[in-house]
Amino acid sequence: MRILLIEDDRRTADLIGEGLVGAGHLVDYATDGNEGLRRARTAAYGVVVIDRMLPGLDGLEIARRLRASSVRTPLLFLTTMSGIDDRVEGLEAGADDYLVKPFAFPELLARLNALARRLPLAQVETVLRVGDLEMDLVSRRVKRAGEIVELQAREFQLLAYLMRNAGSLVSRRQLLENVWEFHFEPRTNLVETHMSRLRAKVDRDFDSWLIETVRGSGYILRERSS
């Protein structure tokens, strides 16, 4: 199983990672909340393990944003915050389980295996499809009508967010918050520039356009009816 570990304490992360690798799992690391959120959104994992207190973006906000983006990957909070209110808050934010530090590694392993059984890997969303557009979250490969579409990292994140929200209007603010992690309105045409580049790669050389601009409101990615 491929596991994402979002933990800013390097010693703790190394100990957990060594144990998980020894148990036969693949482990990716993120040391701050923003990086962890980006990885969880744009790659396929069996389980994501999240510390509550992280630099950049705390664990609760990561869970809330993942669930708001329709990411169904099981989430386990691993934290020193042991109060009943803390546990309730974590579960209500979208976590599937909550384990308090210090912990016994066999218990962590058992909980991760239980979460993986709850959502079999075959059901973990690894490929997004809209019409003839396909995105593989594991290989990070994008195809349109069977042709490879080469994307930069930020373009990949942008397209992944649009595909997860296919058929729905996505505002400029939503893109700034969920793709760039901005919580203010930068006085630039950042979104417009990246969207233009993305459309040039995804739409321009094909029979139909998937990305539509709704003037003054945002963007919609959807399959066009013939």
Q: Which of 62, 96, 123 is the last residue of a domain?
A: 123
**Same structural domain, 13 and 115:** yes
CATH number of the domain bearing residue 49: 3.40.50.2300
Quick one: pLDDT band at residue 7, thresholds 50, 70, 90?
A: very high
> Looking at residue 5, what is its pLDDT?
94
> Looking at residue 121, what is its pLDDT?
46
Task: Look at residue 198 and tell me if it is in a domain.
Answer: yes
Residue percentage of the chain with pLDDT more than 70: 95
CA distances from 162 to 39, 91, 128, 184, 211 (A): 16, 27, 10, 20, 9
Q: How many domains does the chain have?
A: 2
Q: Report the Cα 176 to chain-centroid distance in Å.
A: 15
Euclidean distance between CA atoms 34 and 51, whole angstroms: 13
Question: What type of residue sits at position 47?
Answer: V
Which of the two residues, 27 and 124, has the higher pLDDT score? 27
Euclidean distance between CA atoms 164 and 166, whole angstroms: 6
- What digits encode the pLDDT tens for the residues 134-160? 998 878 899 999 999 999 988 998 998
Task: Look at residue 78 and tell me if it is in a domain.
Answer: yes
- What digits encode the pLDDT tens for the residues 162-210? 998 888 898 998 888 778 877 667 778 899 999 999 999 999 888 889 9
Q: Which of 85, 105, 123 is the last residue of a domain?
A: 123
**Same structural domain, 165 and 114:** no
Cα Rg for the chain, rounded, in angstroms? 19
Which residue in 224, 99, 123, 215 sits closest to 167, CA to CA? 224
Handedness of CA 175, 177, 181, 187 (dihedral sign): positive
> Looking at residue 225, what is its pLDDT?
61
> Looking at residue 146, what is its pLDDT?
92
**Same structural domain, 20 and 85:** yes
Q: Could you tell me the residue range of the domain that residue 215 belongs to?
A: 127-221
> Looking at residue 176, what is its pLDDT?
87
- What digits encode the pLDDT tens for the residues 72-105? 889 999 888 878 888 888 888 888 999 888 888 9
**Same structural domain, 47 and 119:** yes
Mean pLDDT is lowest, of 47-61, 104-118, 190-204, for: 104-118
Q: What is the mean pLDDT of the chain?
A: 87
**Same structural domain, 67 and 11:** yes
Task: Look at residue 226 and tell me if it is in a domain.
Answer: no
Mean pLDDT is lowest, of 30-34, 116-120, 169-173, for: 116-120
Residue percentage of the chain with pLDDT more than 90: 37
